[in-house]
Chains A and B, each alone.
Chain A
Amino acid sequence: MKSNKRILRIGLISLLLPFAVWIGFLVVIPHIELLRLSFISHRGNNFTLANYANFFTNALYRNTYIRSAVFSIIVTFITLVISLPMALFITKIAGPKAQGILMLAVILPFWISELIQAFAWMIMLRETGVLSYLLQLLGIIHHNVEFLYNDAAIMVGLVYTSMLFMVIPLVSTLSTMEDSIIEAAYDLGGNFWNTLFEVIIPYSAPGITTGSIMVFMLSLGNYISVTLLGGKNSLWFTEQIYNQFILRFNWNQGAAFGILLLILSSLIVWIGIKISGQEIEEVLR
């Protein structure tokens, strides 16, 4: 019995070691360094809070953050609305064989990089692109129309790149749901809508919350899709951080923005969890 415990402990240590090294070197230490940088003035070496104050006093930075956050919330909602029926279909309607194929179809686009995905969307949406051509073929429009370089194109790109991260948690929660629960709902006189809203959605709430957190964070932290698809109005908060580091050589301000992005986004997620009445432990499970 005792030796069993010992083996367990050795196993635990050897399993945890790579993880601890990974987290320590690549997550904790860089963040501590960022935190330190963010409290030091640019081109000086003294302690300051100015880097943080800049965010709140300069309307440009504040508004860019708000714009990015609001967009990300909308993206999260759209992704949920699209992914829930997909997950329902995969888990409850499709047969076992079709299930595998459908999951593969969801995952397949992620075998290519986000950059290529963005370029593919550019080919689809541009003025002389596929969508414009098809709509003309169908006689819906009569000359080339530009679908690229606007806020909607940004949304399309973001929803597409984050869909997988919503579908997978939804599928994993819904697959634990007994079909009989849905049957019971119908037997008790429920129709499609109140079965959906009073049985299925409450049941899949943990999956919805996990997926939403991931999609929200991914969208807010996105850089490639936004810059490529957004065109002239695509300023995103991540671009502001990039600009500070790369355009202005101001690592201190960039670090402060990075920390602010982390804190403010966590805050939004926390509020979201509270509003939806979830517990963080529940969601992580």
Chain B
Amino acid sequence: MRNAKKLLVLAVIFTMLVVSFAMASGEKQSAKASKVLRMLTWEGYAPASLVEKFKSETGLDVQIAYIGDNNELIAKLAATKGQGYDLIQPTYNWVTIAQNQYGVYAPLEMDKIKTDQIDPQLFKTVTEGTKINGKSYAIPFCWGTTAMIVNTKYAPEAGKTYKDFCNPKYAGRITYRAKYDSFYMFAYALGLDPAKAVSDEKAYRDVMEKTLKKMIECKKYVKTYWGSRQELEDLLLREEVWVASCWDAIAFSLTPKHPELQYRIPKEGAVGWIDTLAVSAGAENVEGAYKWINFIMKPENAAVIANKTGYSMASNGYLKYVTPERAKMVKEIFTPEVVKNIKWYFPLPSYAVDIEADVQERLKAAPSE
């Protein structure tokens, strides 16, 4: 029995040793914090070449964690109140809800940002849209659109309107996501305006219910609701679908090799998203975060990301530095009229989050006949 006690004591001492070691190394890490910039961002937003360049300019190491979607981002940050990351890149319309519910971001100090590098139109949209109590929480980083991609071999006429997602001519050859972007497309096609209705709970419920009814009606024509980029590309390249919702970046990478796949922006307008730069409420290296912001928005640096990802940047004059083919394609697709007609994603109040989740679940649960 005495031996057992001895063993227990030993075990306790051992555990304490391990814990104190772990804590000590944790302390060491925070002492190092000013030498390290920790980012929570999307694949492709901090390519290795730029991380190298940043290090040689500022001496800061960059640690990157990747996210797959905005809900995951918020769930991750909410658990720690933003601690563990300095710089975060949420999508514009998700900033305020995360801030209101969990307070995970720090208000931006605009005098530390070289705002003349940033597209003034987008800057105004994002800083105004993320304002809480007079303080802005994000600035624009890059943007892109979701519209339609069609296989011109089988559906040359498609893509002039989102109504083609419900066109019996393409039955079984249609795919889009069972997510909010598709709901907005269907809503705009029905002549509804979710962006306007969102400020009123009842009006928004009404818009989404009408849209859901239409989408359930159209479910029989859908092959599947695509989930990942890979899944969509497989469906398109194997010619299993002809008409699909698609991000412009996917189209930019597919069209050069497969000219029959064309990105088309219907008359209702493309749905647009803006990814932002924000500073975490739990940031340990605030100065480093601003250094990265000013570094990455330089046109020649932003162009590196544009070339790699296919997204459009919020940096002024970055098109001068992208490949000529890319610049040509962007200018052809995003004419001034098209850009003016983009339906930007709008910030969601918490009731709207519930309404959207509810209709998405009901769409998936609905029988398709």
Contact = CB atoms under 8 A, between A and B. Distances in A.
Interface string B331-369: 000000000000000000010011011001110110110
Interface stretch (B3-11, B43-51, B320-328): B3-11
A13 B4 CA distance: 8
A10 B4 CA distance: 5
B240 A232 contact: no
Interface stretch (B22-30, B127-135, B140-148, B216-224): B216-224
B4 A9 contact: yes
Nearest to A234: B364
Contacts of A9: 1, 4
Interface class of chain A by DSSP = helix
A248 B4 CA distance: 50
A233 B72 contact: no
B178 A64 contact: no
Q: What is the size category of the interface that chain B forms with chain A?
A: 35 or more
B223 A149 contact: yes
A60 interface: yes
Contacts of A17: 11
B7 A14 contact: yes
Interface in A248-282: 248-250
A8 to B, nearest CB: 11
Nearest to B7: A10
Contacts of B17: none
Contacts of B225: 231-232
Interface in B205-261: 219, 222-225, 227, 234, 238-240
Given A232-B225, A232-B368, A247 B178 contact: no
Interface residues of A, number: 32
B75 interface: yes
B240 A247 contact: no
User: Which of B1, B71, B101, B172: most chain A CB closer than 10 A?
Assistant: B71
A248 B70 CA distance: 12
B101 A249 contact: yes
A246 interface: yes
B64 interface: no
Nearest to B8: A13
A94 B189 CA distance: 64
A247 B353 contact: yes
B74 interface: yes
Given A13-B7, A149-B223, A246-B71, A60 B365 contact: yes
Contacts of B224: 148-149, 231-232
A10 B9 CA distance: 13
A15 to B, nearest CB: 12
A285 interface: no
A128 interface: yes
Contacts of A97: none
User: Which of B3, B238, B364: most chain A CB closer than 10 A?
Assistant: B364
Nearest to B237: A128
Contacts of A63: 365
B75 A126 contact: no
Given A149-B223, A243-B357, A247-B357, A126 B240 contact: yes
A202 B222 CA distance: 47
Interface string A223-254: 00001100111110001100101111110000
Contacts of B350: 43
Nearest to A59: B365
Contacts of B223: 146, 149, 231-232
B78 interface: yes
Contacts of B227: 227-228
A222 B74 CA distance: 24
A114 interface: no
Given A149-B223, A235-B365, A243-B357, A127 B240 contact: yes
A243 B353 CA distance: 11
Contacts of A243: 357, 360-361
A16 B7 CA distance: 13
B361 A60 contact: yes
Contact of A249 (B74, B365, B367): B74
A250 B355 CA distance: 13
Interface of A: 6, 9-10, 13-14, 17, 43, 60, 63-64, 126-128, 146, 148-149, 227-228, 231-235, 239-240, 243, 245-250
Given A248-B353, A249-B101, 20 more contacts: A9-B4, A13-B7, A14-B7, A17-B11, A126-B234, A128-B239, A146-B240, A228-B227, A231-B223, A231-B224, A232-B223, A232-B225, A233-B368, A235-B361, A239-B364, A243-B361, A247-B360, A248-B357, A249-B78, A249-B353
23 contacts: A6-B3, A6-B4, A10-B3, A10-B4, A10-B7, A13-B4, A60-B362, A64-B365, A149-B223, A228-B227, A232-B224, A232-B364, A233-B364, A234-B364, A235-B361, A235-B364, A243-B360, A246-B75, A247-B353, A247-B356, A247-B360, A248-B357, A249-B353
